[in-house]
A and B are shown apart, each in its own frame.
Chain A
Amino acid sequence: MSKVAVLAGGSSFERQVSLRSGARVEDALERLGHEVIAIDAGQDLIRRLRDEQPDAAFVAMHGRDGEDGTVQELLEILGLPYTGSGVPACVRAMDKVLTKHLLTEHGVPTPEFFAFNQTAFRELGAADALPAIEQRLAFPIVVKPSSQGSALGIKFARTAADVPSALVAAFSYDAKVLLERHVDGRDLAVSVLDGPDGPTALPVVEAVPRDSEQGDFYDFQARYEIGRTEFICPAALPDGVTERAQELALRTYELLGCYGFGRVDLMLDAVGDLYVLEANPIPGLTETSLLPQAAEEAGIGFDELVGRILESAFGR
């Protein structure tokens, strides 16, 4: 059996989720008979990894540092096998703007968007272009920070008057934000798991807001509040949609160069068109997270899931 360092926590805004993911992974690895070293990623990360000399690192960190290639870069330098995507895939996936450009170039549908740095507004008068953008995207418009992993900072602008404050909010999280056409429809998530025969798409999960008043602004945020959203797996979808969603997820996963596991979030609109919103190189692994639910549906229990992800670290 192996000696595995589980990296969790860190200082990203998703620290709490990451600690829950990490704790579950530790338990699973122990049940699988591995020796586990739990590390809350901080100033002593490198020192501890050097002292402990693990065989591999299981990266259970979300958001900044953990999911954006930073930790992966450090693990590369240490020459330590680690789980999940490598540096370039993390860098691409964590940046929604890069992801969307890549998807567009390769014909994968993603909602139309415009992205700006803060300097565009401060120094280049980009505000004067907002009416043209608003006309092009049509209201409502989704405004989001380019790199934030969770739903933090995502705003829903219904009118032109909402746009400036939505941008101010999004810029609280990142120096780059995007304005995106809103796709009204169903929220889908397709997890992908690598195996001996390459990556496989798992059953589709649908997120359904529980007690929603149709069209209410808070609906949008309610989707991300635990307890206000119900997850259905496998999602009951019209003929062929599941297959198409899985195909798009796999294509996205491969275009980004993801490895080991990942999750792709999509929207299904009223006429049956699918759009890829984003990809998560290290999706949550908590009790309520979507990847474990989808794996379970595919007959892969949590321990087996963790075991397979760990195994892939050695096969890179």
Chain B
Amino acid sequence: MLKRVFQIILSIGILSFLVAACVFPVTDFVQKDATSFITIEADITNEIGSSKIRITNSANRLQSVLMLPVTKATVYVTDEKGIQTVFKEGVVTGTYMPPAGFVGKVGSSYQLYVKTLLGTEYLSDVETMNPVPSLENVVSQFELYDQYAKGDPKRVGWSIYLDFKDNDREGDFYQWNWKHYEKIQICATCTGGGLWNFTKNECNIPRTPNDQIWNFQCDGNCWDISWNNEINVFSDALTNGQRIVGKQVARVPFDGYTDYYFRLEQRAITKSVFTYNQSIISSVQSNGSMFDVPAETKFSLNIKSKTNPSERILGVFNVYSVAKKIFFINRSKNIPQGERATVSPLLGDVYTCPPGAVGCQERVPCFESPTRTKIVPEGWNL
């Protein structure tokens, strides 16, 4: 009883400051200003197939999903020897790809040049590809975040910690990204009683929708892809040349008991990209406390307009080298008693063709997209 009384006092006492500082979503937000800027996202890496340059116009509305591609631009990268590599617009408009087999070299320097159809020219600073140390020791550890209540998916999961040896030279900057491939059986779900339209490749919307949900199996191997939502960067300013131990690089959700495919990528980035990421972190990631720094966007950080020096350019010229590690996390071991995976059940029924139906199809193809692939992931052995 005494404990209960104390708990009440406590809850309205000092802790309420920590607990009651609440965050509410804003539903009636009205934008004050709407402007669009050219966005140049340029990656030069030492990994085959990963270098690419994407040029779009930013959306002037927060609700927009459409970034208008800038097409038919002249794009090339010049290295320190003066060798130009032309990037050509590929199947996806606004995305420019180098010749097959192109890889950046550690120690080499690159400068980006872009000329749009309208004749505006952009030139980046010269950026050097820094060497990346290998990922030494990766530890996955089941950890309970007990600030979240039972049932909250954020409560349970595996924290991934990394050890690596920082390069001896000063001024190294790192970034970590991860990707997860989840093999899927269901490739489409239609609600309202609608069925999959195999010509249009979308769900039919029935005239009188009902509660029936139909799930369609994949017609072959198919994986859903997910990746880190948060930016994770690090500078060796305070730990130059040291072995960095226990750096948390990811949090794996406990949403099933199967082994979890995990592809961890460590990048050695340039100082400008580190600065760029830091400004994003303070604007959208570490914000929401009482101590926020002013939210701002870094324009024209290392790409500038030659034709109009005052033009504000979004994006960054990102020259980096990569080390990666692929491993599987066993999600059925070392789980504390009473903790369960938050598995979302499959709603509805799996669609099967009625017996004897002519020309009926029941398996949906796996369409390639940023979040789905039928290409077997690297290192997949399950």
Whether chains A and B associate is no
- Interface of A toward B, CB cutoff 8 Å: none
- Interface of B toward A, CB cutoff 8 Å: none
